Structure 1
């Protein structure tokens, strides 16, 4: 694995490149861009689980940190901006096509959770991407309008407007944690949703915890996600071969629902939906059995289409 910094017009994007075994820089390889979940970082499921495994199958895999997050640049920190998240994918492709060992005609993308929504969205207008796969794809715009705004997006937009004005005048920043501090805290607060509880168990314990996977959001800069939709124009523009993977234990973040929706809406002539029975959204992040089922579909999919 190699850590790189990708120069962008505004700051650097940090990424880890995973190489196949017996890598030969004189040869050319297909490449996969791996996009991390909301509140995550490249060292978690997108890199050290899926990135490593797909690289072992003969691919170059590049897992990157979103702008304002992880080791990537951007100030203030902890911003989740869909427009720039999508642009990050394009910048990573710009970098990949400069590498002599990457075949520019065999570039695919993998997105996990919110990274899946971004991967689907960028593929609509970024035709250097030749194959698209997702694990637990979530349309972050839809989630922002629903659960993340308590199903009252207009009220949240008014609150954001007031907070942003206060910060512009020198007031303290409001940085919200996306999750409780522990499963026990979540349960004592009466939270019962499987996605909330299992996300907390993943991100807040040694299982998946990482210093840069903060699961935080700067409230004053969260308005853009409410007006964004990952699936807009998918019926017309999303044409690449498509593989969607989700667990059948349904939670409040909506990966099962969103995967079914985009499967139906995508214009792709070649598309497949894998529902991993008996497993949940966060099981697919790192648990050996469901991850193995996902990889058993992902690797042949990329081998066929790249």
Structure 2
């Protein structure tokens, strides 16, 4: 693995590039951009999939989203769907400058919200030749179900306060513990699993700091990751979901993406007995996902 830097506008995106073994710099390799979930960083599940895919012969690139992790960009902790999608385009830009990457064989893999962003990027980024998603979530659908008008009113008031000099409101993606979730009335299955992954030694990482700029919500609520998929998402598509369904809705979103996509070559695979977060890092679940993803990428890249 090598640290590399991708440029988005006037700031740097921190990325890890993974290499197959053995690696021959004189050859041309297929490449896959791996896109992390909301609140995540490159060292977590996106890095896990990037490493596993590289072991089978691909160059892979996992990066921190703009405004988050080790990447640049201000304001910090912003989750901006348009910029998240632009990050993917910039990652493709970078790969086209790498001499050992075949620019005609670049794919994308996204996990959770990263899956929605990956699919959305592929609508207009024709250099992406293959799309894979694992527990893809349409972030706009997910956030838009949570009292959207009330949230938008609160965002408007907060923007006015900040324009008049108030500090930015920084909230959290999840409660910091199961006990905190219980007290807040948020102890739903997917949320508890999110806490177990992100807020315990299982998957925590220092730069995944559980901070979200509250004013991000207005862009999140109005974003539809799959808009125009029925017309523009024509690349080969592999969708992976788990059948232990929680409130975050990735099972539904996975089938929504699959059904809407215009791709003539599209497949969906249900990992039985797997939850949303099992498909982040649990060997049996991720192993089944990779058993479907790897040959699909090899066949189409």
Of 260, 282, 285 in structure 2, the residue corresponding to residue 265 of structure 1 is 260
Contact 1:38–1:215 (CA<8 Å) still a contact in 2?
A: no
Structure 1 residue 188 displacement after superposition: 4.3
Question: Bigger CA drift: 201-210 or 7-16?
Answer: 7-16
Tell me the equivalent position of 1:297.
292
| SS at 1:130 equivalent | strand
Match of 2:271 among 272, 276, 295: 276
DSSP 3-state at the match of 1:198 = helix
The offset of 1:255, in angstroms, is: 0.3
Q: Which residue of 2 aligns with 1:87?
A: 86
- The corresponding residue for 2:150 is 155
Indicate which of 196, 209, 213 corresponds to 2:208.
Answer: 213
Give yes or no for contact 2:135–2:242 (8 Å, CA) kept in 1: yes
1:301, distance to aligned residue in structure 2 (A) = 0.6
Are 2:159 and 1:164 aligned? yes
Q: Using the TM superposition, name which of 17-26 and 211-220 deviates more.
A: 211-220
Q: Distance in 2 between matches of 1:22 and 1:271?
A: 31
Match of 2:118 in 1: 119
CA distance in 1, matches of 2:88, 2:185: 38
Shift of 1:199: 0.2
- Structure-2 residue corresponding to 1:20: 20
* Structure 1 residue ranges without an equivalent (≥5): none
**Offset at residue 192 of structure 1 (A):** 3.3
| Other structure's SS at 2:128 match | coil
CA distance in 2, matches of 1:96, 1:112: 20
CA distance, structure 2, for counterparts of residue 187 and residue 218 of structure 1? 23
Q: Deviations over 1:97-155 (max 9, x none)?
A: 00000000100000000000000001011010000000000000111111xxx2x2112
Instruction: Indicate conservation of the 8 Å contact 2:4/2:15, yes or no.
Output: yes
Q: Secondary structure at the match of 1:222?
A: helix
Which residue number in structure 2 is paired with residue 50 of structure 1? Answer: 49
In 2, the alpha carbon distance for the partners of 1:29 and 1:43 equals 23
Total equivalences in the alignment: 301
Q: Is the 8 A contact 2:242 2:273 kept in 1?
A: yes
- Give the unaligned 5+ runs of structure 2: none
Instruction: Tell whether 2:227 aligns with 1:232.
Output: yes
- Counterpart in 1 of 2:134? 135
State whether residues 164 and 221 of structure 1, in contact with CA within 8 Å, keep that contact through their aligned partners in structure 2. no
Per-residue deviation, 1:190? 3.9
Instruction: Quote the Cα distance in structure 2 between the aligned partners of 1:172 and 1:188.
Output: 26
Task: Tell me the residue number matched to 1:29.
Answer: 29
The answer to whether the 8 Å contact 1:19/1:61 transfers is yes
